[in-house]
Structure 1
């Protein structure tokens, strides 16, 4: 029995996730992509993973760069998430970013910036799982941007 892809997508939409923008540099040019498929993997060594669709140009850019940053977005960065999810994602003319340690652009205002060297890339169906070894971390206080059932949400404190 083959699982209906639409049903699988609906099931996954029931999992609330934080929102990240993955950034990298190739030949001095910045690139970014909104990604919700992100998780911590290991404390020793410090590893995190992201999953990128094999059809995305970002897949080949990450292989070429061998480094990336995971920018965990705050609740007031929905527009930034939409920007890097849309067709204009490679337009950086109005993006405020810092250089960090030179691994990849760090988006200003993010709750956390994780600067990673590529540790391993693993094929997984129609995606590639990129495992990054975290080299540097920058933290800020704030509330996370969440994504649930196809829409953005804020964290409600109880």
Structure 2
């Protein structure tokens, strides 16, 4: 499970053929695109990810996989709360922005802070607010289990990610 970002920096190690093969296999599975946000010690944090799934309805739990080296991962764990923003089909630029490391993702974004003091992105299909329930190590990622506090859903179509590209959902039958 990886974040959507395919960008690399010069100080990242080269992937092995096995890692490339696994990455290619996973990219053949289409996913929705989200941005996880939090606010910790006066600073907003956010990152694009597609590693998200429901875990349980009772209690309501979901999991996200966050890169162990990201500042957002550390902030989510330290703060103990996060928001999953569900991106709409017209938000590929938002996804790309939050996939970049070190950028001021929130500049000119029009985000608001909710009652939990968590950043909410405008124009999304909705969001899920969670309290961190558990954190597990999963290779080079942190598997964060979130206890769902609230959900918001708005009409629209989701942004999809497949084979390294963004797309739209077409329903059949």
TM over 0.5: yes
Check the 8 A contact 1:67/1:103 in 2, yes or no: no
Matched, 1:6 2:20: yes
Check the 8 A contact 2:61/2:146 in 1, yes or no: yes
CA apart distance, 1:96:
1.9
Matches of residues 1-158 of structure 1 in structure 2 within 5 Å? Answer: 4-87=18-101, 89-158=103-172
Tell me how far apart the structure 2 counterparts of residues 42 and 78 of structure 1 sit (CA, whole Å): 29
Check the 8 A contact 1:31/1:89 in 2, yes or no: no
Check the 8 A contact 1:116/1:132 in 2, yes or no: yes
Aligned-residue Cα RMSD (Å) equals: 1.6
Tell me how far apart the structure 1 counterparts of residues 62 and 145 of structure 2 sit (CA, whole Å): 6
Q: Residue 4 of structure 1: SS of its match in structure 2?
A: helix
Unaligned runs of 5+ in 1: none
Tell me how far apart the structure 2 counterparts of residues 29 and 42 of structure 1 sit (CA, whole Å): 31
TM-score by length of 1: 0.93
CA apart distance, 1:109:
1.3
Unaligned runs of 5+ in 2: 1-15
